[in-house]
Amino acid sequence: MGQAMKVLVVGGGGREHALCWKLNRSDSVGEVVCAPGNPGIKREARCVNVGAEDVDGLLALAATEKPDLVVVGPEVPLVAGLGNKLREEGFAVFGPDKAAANLEGSKSFSKRLMHDAGVPTARFEVHVDADEAVDTIRSWGAPIVIKASGLAAGKGVIVAQTEKEAIVAARDMLAGNTFGDAGSQVIIEECLIGEEASCLFIVSGDTILPLASSQDHKALLDGDKGPNTGGMGAYSPAPCVTDAVENEVLETIARPIIAALKKKGAEFIGILYAGVMLTKNGLKTLEFNVRFGDPECQPLMSRLKSDLGEVLLAAAERRLDGVELEWEAGTSLCVVVSSDGYPSSFEKGQRIGGLDAVEAAGATVFHAGTAEKNGVIVNAGGRVLGVTTVAPSVKEAQTAVYMALENLDWPTGFYRRDIAYRALAREEK
């Protein structure tokens, strides 16, 4: 290709840091601009203080910067229609239009579309009335899953172990107390048992290109105990996703859902993320996202050998057909360090030291929820850092990441000690 391109990345979390880091190492890319970015992203890109949810501000920024490609990281601007508006202005965009982003923006829309398209998923009902929701919970029994239909930053899912817990969750959501508008509809689902995996695809019209598999750890505590979070760590590849499983996800989940969206007039360009559960009754779809997972993006970008800029531009320009991806062998593993108290309340503004020492020990530190105050890095969110390593085996990657983390100087920083424990058990067998 000719001149190196300018890429605008929208967002300021760990996923966007990983994307900027990878784009900055792509031969096709001359400059990375990120809005709003964060202190870690500043090392990889020129950060401009425009919020990821400020659609008008982002349109104005694109008009000024004239990027060759816009990569939209988070779901909120996609659901708000940023992709449509940028395309109307003639920009090449990696990220779906509003109609396709509804796949993540509305779980009730998503579940009904899965049902219509014959995509395997858990039995479900959608409720807006609390008493009717309670009747369903009582007739189905527990364990049972209660989900807010709208966007809830990865936290709108309650896996209730008792009927009482489920009833409280459903009433809270529908009363608008816990998730506001996101909870004005709730989905009640049967609780699936099995191993979860994240299967991501780059989609460009009818072309669907699988990314390497990964597995996210949603629960706060070791052994997958405690409340659900936005993700406490991830690794790639996920050994439970064999070639046969990957092919089955592609043919029975990804292709039918993309075709069903197309039938509704929504063409998909961007990332289709299928959260799947491998149950004893076969594959089931838990949910869809319309962007890279966070933290799955960090290990995926750490393993990707291909030129990310070239691949995403090809997708945006509908010429993805024939593109193949190259991956590092071995395992990449990311441990999320969160603020003490997350996912409920936590104190911000705590000094975080030792980041250079963590990197000197062989890990890459992706910033997710940090800020800079008087030259010092402080915590500014719930999930704060994604510390990532790549090694020939799961055991080596896990050992390396936890050794590197010993250099972190943040006494109240919290992280799980068992990321990739399932893959490790398989490897040791």
pLDDT score recorded for residue 178: 62
For 23-140, list the strands marked E by DSSP.
29-36, 46-47, 69-72, 93-94, 124-127
Question: Do residues 291 and 217 both lie within one domain?
Answer: yes
Question: Do residues 171 and 205 both lie within one domain?
Answer: no
Question: Do residues 310 and 212 both lie within one domain?
Answer: yes
Rg (CA), the chain: 21
Residue 234 falls within a domain, yes or no?
Answer: yes
Q: Domain boundary residue among 165, 184, 203? A: 184
SS3 call for 267: coil
Tokens 């019209």 found at = 205
Average pLDDT for consecutive 10-residue bins of the chain (429 residues)? 86 98 98 98 98 97 98 96 97 97 91 95 91 92 87 74 92 73 80 93 97 96 92 96 97 98 95 96 94 97 98 98 96 98 95 98 98 97 98 98 98 97 91
Left if phi > 0, otherwise alpha if psi is -120 to 50, otherwise beta: which for 314?
alpha
Question: Do residues 301 and 261 both lie within one domain?
Answer: yes
What CATH number should be reported for the domain holding residue 33? 3.40.50.20
pLDDT score recorded for residue 234: 98
Residue 110 falls within a domain, yes or no?
Answer: no
| Residue 163 one-letter amino acid | E
Question: Do residues 222 and 311 both lie within one domain?
Answer: yes
pLDDT score recorded for residue 260: 97
Question: Do residues 273 and 358 both lie within one domain?
Answer: no
Q: Domain boundary residue among 97, 112, 138? A: 97
* 269 close to 96: Cβ distance less than 8 angstroms: yes
Question: Do residues 374 and 417 both lie within one domain?
Answer: yes
What CATH number should be reported for the domain holding residue 161? 3.30.1490.20
Question: Do residues 290 and 372 both lie within one domain?
Answer: no
Question: Do residues 207 and 177 both lie within one domain?
Answer: no
* 170 close to 221: Cβ distance less than 8 angstroms: no
Q: Domain boundary residue among 115, 149, 184? A: 184
Q: Which of 46, 52, 88 lies closest to 71 in space, CA to CA?
A: 52
Domain count, the chain: 4
Q: Using DSSP bridges, classify how beta strands 219-221 and 225-228 pair: parallel, antiparallel or unpaired.
A: antiparallel
- What's the gap between Cα 234 and its chain centre? 10
pTM of the model: 0.94
Residue 353 falls within a domain, yes or no?
Answer: yes
Residue 105 falls within a domain, yes or no?
Answer: no
Residue 322 falls within a domain, yes or no?
Answer: no
What CATH number should be reported for the domain holding residue 239? 3.30.470.20
Dig out the tokens for 429 from the structure: 């067998």
Tokens 């402080």 found at = 378
What CATH number should be reported for the domain holding residue 398? 3.90.600.10
Residue 324 falls within a domain, yes or no?
Answer: no
Can you give the residue range of the structural domain that contains 268? 193-316
Question: Do residues 17 and 84 both lie within one domain?
Answer: yes
Question: Do residues 257 and 168 both lie within one domain?
Answer: no
Residue 115 falls within a domain, yes or no?
Answer: no
Q: Spell out the residues 6+ positions from residue 135 whose beta carbon is closer than 8 angstroms to its own.
A: none
Q: Which of 121, 128, 161, 164 lies closest to 145 in space, CA to CA?
A: 161
Question: Do residues 305 and 337 both lie within one domain?
Answer: no
